[in-house]
Amino acid sequence: MCGRYASARKKHELLEEFQVEQDGDPDKELGPDYNVAPTKNVYAVLSRVPESAERGVRQLRILKWGLVPAWAKDPSVGSRMINARAETLAEKPSFRSAFAKRRCLLPADGYFEWMPVEGDKKKKQPYFIHPEDGGVLAMAGLYEFWKDPTRDDDDPLKWLVTCTVITTDAEDDLGHIHDRMPMMIERERWAEWLDPQMTDTKTASGLLVPAQSGRLTAVPVSTEVNSVRNNGPELIEPLPDGEGDGLF
């Protein structure tokens, strides 16, 4: 699963990087977050077709991480739906509608995984996994709208918009750390992946291609990342030489 990631780029950088046409939350900006955890607000790139328009408009929106299906009775289920397996997206009731119509990209600088320490299974060493070239990750995601039946129609909190990270089998270079990893969408596939008018799930599945081996690198980092209360650039700094050795 993908349960933590880092997203520290400023809004204007993401607007430019993802060629966003509309800032969906112009009055809000998230601060740098080096320890993004489930139920937090996160940036998402998505495309919506405005009324009387012929095509989708690419937007940057702030969503809550943990997908709440439209039919859910209680939004608390979102904390258990932070990930969606790529292999079963078209089958699972929680995700199949969003997979057909509401796909998104979740920008990240990298993500964290934990590996048991050799000789002590109670201890786990965290790793920060990120593009070797320092570029941004476009994690494949889905988003959904949930209507709160307890609120009035004019209440700005009437609608909750949530998201989930799509996961796949980890590539060979990373599989020794954890057997799953976030699915990435390559730049040349962004437009098609985000297109809300493309509703064929077989076509969408064809866009889910695992990252090329060697593109990502993993470095051992401090166990400070274990606590969601800790946040800061030090969480993604590699441990000094020698620390974290003996794990492979």
**Cα–Cα nearest to 198, from 122, 123, 99:** 99
Token representation of residue 116: 């048991």
Q: Which of 104, 113, 144, 163 is catalytic?
A: 113
Q: Name residue 180's beta-bridge partners.
A: 169
Q: Does the annotation count 237 as an active-site position?
A: no
- Distance between CA atoms of 57 and 232, rounded to whole angstroms? 33
Buried b / exposed e over 79-108, threshold 16 CB at 10 Å, is eebbbbbbeebeeeebbbebbbbbbbbbbb
- Distance between CA atoms of 33 and 10, rounded to whole angstroms? 10
Q: Which of 2, 104, 144, 163 is catalytic?
A: 2
Q: Does the annotation count 234 as an active-site position?
A: no
| Catalytic positions | 2, 113
